[in-house]
Amino acid sequence: MLRDDALAIVDTQYPQTADATTAAFESHAEKSSTPLIDLLINTHHHGDHTGGNAKLLDRSNRSVAHAECVRLQRVTAEDGATPATAATTFDDAWSTDLADETISLNHDGPAHTGGDATIFFENANVVHTGDLVFNRVIPFIDVDGGALVENWITTLETLHDRYDDDTLFIFGHGHPDHGLTGSRAGLHRMRDYLTALDEFVRAKRANGVTVEEMKKETNLPGFEAYSSEDWPLPLAQNLEAVYREQTGDTPATAS
Ligand SMILES: [Zn+2]
């Protein structure tokens, strides 16, 4: 969110992109207040969303993330490094006013990770979903980071009903042909993928198929277009993640 008198950013991408991010905002001549960023928000702990924190937090007045996002940043940091984390954490909901906007964060339980936040810009009627939506591509399901597909499905229903047909959604990742924004119909598409995935694994298990055999599948029936040559994430990761969830093979620290 960029106004003449206010700047809020959602996620920080990578360390290598942080300078370009600040340069882009510094060039916005009207934004003269210090620090550069009024509010920095992390949607979850993954490196492609928090990697630029170290540089951008220095330029931020306030910062906020879910408590589990910060904890997961610490436990997944390499070589005992101290990661740059948001100064403020929340558990269920958090809200603030900035310029003419009200910005509300919600955590509806574990989904893509254990510490997901969705960000609602109330007056603009814009929601950033973080990685709760991979727009028509194979998602990443971070079981070791507290992901829970069962609740992810429920959360997508909740979000669909919380907002309206005019709400613009910003998705965490997307197929190049379909982009990173869309209506709330995108939430139901993501729900349908996860539901089909869950049912596919359940049916295979009922037929005695092992997880190793299951992981040879490269297409989920009905969602063949989600597996594309240009997309790096394989269906096998999703199948193993759901298999682990259904069989209870998940980290005890996930809660
Ligand atoms: Zn992610």
Using an 8 Å Cβ cutoff, are 31 and 123 in contact? no
pLDDT band with cut points at 50, 70 and 90 for residue 255 = very low
> pTM for the full model?
0.94
Least confident of 82-86, 167-171, 175-179, 219-223: 175-179
Rounded to the nearest whole angstrom, what is the distance from the C-alpha of residue 252 to the centroid of ligand 1? 20
Asked whether residue 62 carries a pLDDT value surpassing 80, the answer given is yes
Rounded to the nearest whole angstrom, what is the distance from the C-alpha of residue 210 to the centroid of ligand 1? 27
Start-to-end C-alpha separation, the chain: 32
Rounded to the nearest whole angstrom, what is the distance from the C-alpha of residue 143 to the centroid of ligand 1? 11
Rounded to the nearest whole angstrom, what is the distance from the C-alpha of residue 4 to the centroid of ligand 1? 30
The domain ranges of the chain are 2-185
Bridge partners, residue 135, by sequence:
174
Residues 219-233: tens digit of each pLDDT? 999 999 999 888 899
| Residue 197: count of CB within 10 angstroms of its CB | 23
Please provide the average confidence, as pLDDT, over all residues in the chain.
93
Rounded to the nearest whole angstrom, what is the distance from the C-alpha of residue 207 to the centroid of ligand 1? 32
Rounded to the nearest whole angstrom, what is the distance from the C-alpha of residue 47 to the centroid of ligand 1? 8
Percentage, residues of the chain above pLDDT 90: 83
Segment 136-141 mean pLDDT: 97
Rounded to the nearest whole angstrom, what is the distance from the C-alpha of residue 130 to the centroid of ligand 1? 7
Give the C-alpha separation, 61 to 69, whole Å.
19
| pLDDT of res. 93 | 98
Q: Could you name the CATH architecture of 2-185?
A: 4-Layer Sandwich (3.60)
Percentage, residues of the chain above pLDDT 70: 96
Rounded to the nearest whole angstrom, what is the distance from the C-alpha of residue 140 to the centroid of ligand 1? 7
Using an 8 Å Cβ cutoff, are 31 and 7 in contact? yes
Least confident of 25-29, 83-87, 102-106, 111-115: 25-29
| pLDDT of res. 249 | 87
Asked whether residue 147 carries a pLDDT value surpassing 60, the answer given is yes
Rounded to the nearest whole angstrom, what is the distance from the C-alpha of residue 213 to the centroid of ligand 1? 26
Rounded to the nearest whole angstrom, what is the distance from the C-alpha of residue 131 to the centroid of ligand 1? 5
Give the C-alpha separation, 53 to 30, whole Å.
24
| pLDDT of res. 28 | 67
Residues 82-110: tens digit of each pLDDT? 999 999 999 999 999 999 999 999 999 99
Q: DSSP secondary structure string, 175-187? A: -TTT-SEE-THHH
Rounded to the nearest whole angstrom, what is the distance from the C-alpha of residue 99 to the centroid of ligand 1? 29
Rounded to the nearest whole angstrom, what is the distance from the C-alpha of residue 128 to the centroid of ligand 1? 13
